[in-house]
Amino acid sequence: MHFNVPKNKTIGKYVVLFMVFVNFVIGQSSGNCLGKTQNQYVTSGYIPAPVHKLMVSNNSEKIVYLTFDDGPSSSSDKLMDLLDKYHAKATFFLLQSNILKHPKEVERMNLEGFSLGLHGVTHDHRKLYRSKQTVVREMSEDQKTLMNIVKIKTPFIRTPYGSYPFMKNNYRQAINEKGFIMWDWNVDSHDWKYRNWRFNQVTINQIKKLNATNQIPVILLHDRFSTVQNIEPLLKYLELNHYKMNGIDATLHPLQFPVEFGKF
């Protein structure tokens, strides 16, 4: 964009100010477009302390966090279509090998505002949890692969099989020092066990119990064919019961299993 500045100094001054304003607005608009896919990852150097119970805040809004492990997959597009149908956002914890197999699905997840997290490389507890260094290494490698696809750096991780009993205090300290934010869950859908419609009722029963104690559900699900084929009753239930289905973001206190299980 080019302007010829008038010779009159007063008019010229206002033209220059107008040009500065236009450039500022253009810059802000560009930044806002980028922010739609990055704001949920910004930590500003502060990571909220982990909690063992994610409690409902004072407002009356009902919130649930759907989280999908092991993706992306050949079923991811259909899953995102279903989530869009029910005005739902979710968090995808992605494996390095599947990111490489399904980069287009990852790009869509990012562009449509789903939250992205890391799930490591091997999904083998004997390799992953060998030392605190191996945990950090797997998540860092997964991070690099994700960045190559979508150019964002997510802090969110979920360790395979959950943090208990593998993630001891020194392991947790190691990932914190690298800026990772670990998330577990408080609702196990058992979609890994019941590869049919039954996992919906198992999940709903747990949601009702948490609701009775003012806890926010964080639901473990998997990005796989059998889950995607059968998940719609759960999404219908959540919508009919006025739950807002959100992706996790960096302002939340991450839900984590305690180091010693049972000490909630």
Catalytic hit among 2, 69, 84, 190: 69
pTM, two decimal places: 0.84
Report pLDDT for 262: 53
Residue 84 appears among annotated catalytic residues? no
Give tens-digit pLDDT for 232-261: 999 999 999 999 999 999 999 999 999 986
Catalytic hit among 102, 119, 123, 222: 222
Please give the torsion angle defined by the CA atoms of residues 80, 82, 86 and 92, in that order, rounded to the nearest 10 degrees.
-40
DSSP label at residue 66: E
The residues, ordered by sequence, that sit 6+ positions from 189 with a Cβ below 8 Å of its Cβ are 199, 202, 203, 219, 220, 221, 227, 234
Write out residues in the chain with pLDDT < 50, as ranges: 1-7, 9-37, 264
- CA dist 142 → 10, 69, 124, 150 (Å): 57, 14, 14, 13
Residue 222 appears among annotated catalytic residues? yes
Report pLDDT for 8: 52
Please give the torsion angle defined by the CA atoms of residues 257, 133, 248 and 114, in that order, rounded to the nearest 10 degrees.
-140
Q: Which of the four CATH numbers 3.30.9.100, 3.20.20.370, 3.40.50.1370, 3.40.50.720 does domain 62-246 have? A: 3.20.20.370
